[in-house]
Amino acid sequence: MRRKVIAGNWKMNKNPMDTAKFMEAFPELVKDTSDEVVLCVPYIDLFKAMEMAAGTNVKIGAQNVHYEEKGAYTGEVSVTMLKDIGVEYVIIGHSERRQYYNETDESVNKKLKAALANGLKPIVCVGETLEQREAGITKDFVTTQVRLALEGLSNKEVAKTIIAYEPIWAIGTGKTASAQDANEVCVWVREEIRNLFGDVAEEVIIQYGGSVKSSNAAELFGMSDIDGGLVGGASLDPEEFSKIVNYNK
Ligand code: 13P
């Protein structure tokens, strides 16, 4: 039985003071879940978030990472830097990074390898645009993204990789994929991983992301191949995000 991982992605929201306020309330609200709870916060909030998550079941992650260990890469943060301060998770290849910052399947693959080599738990994002969905190429596009992201990984590494299926048209739009449509793509992703790496596919956590809210979380997370979610806007409010985490209560 795969464990569910429910992660918040704050994107470019909240400063350390906002983070402290959030963390004063949130851990208490989710302390009874047996699922994995993660908050992926801006770099400047990592320290505050980790300090206040200590001794709770809330795990902290970053939203991006560079694949080189160190060097002349102004503005970037490396895997070892994140690891050294105790960060546990990292989002890789979010569609906003692919869209606005030239993130490619190749850089996603490099970042994923660097994260795994240093023991950071990666959440790799994939997902189609509305045009691609309407053109009927969702399966082809998403499974290709998955294949290129995982290229060169060992089975053991694949088992440690979380995939977040986030249809771009559902992100921040209030439009959620139906639970059936979301699950169908997650099934395709798992099939692709099975074709490439074998039975380890059964262990891979596949999340859904895109307008997840407390009102739709139970239905989405109840599907056969959706193992939790990556939550944007609704993760900014401790009450609302805790309701998503506690979807089965
Ligand atoms: P929303 O939940 O705001 O649609 O964002 C989803 C997302 O991009 C999470 O990474």
Model pLDDT, residue 42: 98
Spatial distance between the Cα atoms of 160 and 158, rounded to a whole number of angstroms: 5
Number of domains comprising the chain: 1
Residue 172: predicted pLDDT:
86
Q: What is the pLDDT of residue 177?
A: 86
Q: Is 127 in the pocket of ligand 1 (CB under 6 A)?
A: no
pLDDT given at position 151: 98
How many angstroms separate the CA atoms of 209 and 141, rounded? 17
122 within ligand 1 shell (Cβ under 6 A): no
Nearest of 9, 12, 6, 45 to residue 29 by alpha carbon: 6
Kindly give the number of the ligand 1 atom that is closest to the alpha carbon of 40.
10
Predicted local distance difference test score (pLDDT) of residue 120? 98
Active site residue 24: no
> Domain containing 110: what range?
5-245
- Any ligand 1 atom below 6 A from CB of 166: yes
Is 66 annotated in the active site? no
The three-point CA angle 61-207-52 to 5° equals 25
* Pocket lining: 230 vs ligand 1, CB cutoff 6 Å: yes
Any idea what the CATH number is for the domain that residue 113 is in?
A: 3.20.20.70
pLDDT the model gives residue 213: 96
pTM of the model as a whole: 0.97
Neighbours of 69 (CB within 10 A): 12
The atom of ligand 1 lying closest to the CA of 209 is 6
Tens of pLDDT along the chain (249 residues) come to 799 999 999 999 999 999 999 999 999 999 999 999 999 999 999 999 999 999 999 999 999 999 999 999 999 999 999 999 999 999 999 999 999 999 999 999 999 999 999 999 999 999 999 999 999 999 999 999 999 999 999 999 999 999 999 999 999 888 888 999 999 999 999 999 999 999 999 999 999 999 999 999 999 999 999 999 999 999 999 999 999 999 998
Query: Which residue's CA is the closest to the ligand 1 atom numbered 1?
Result: 232
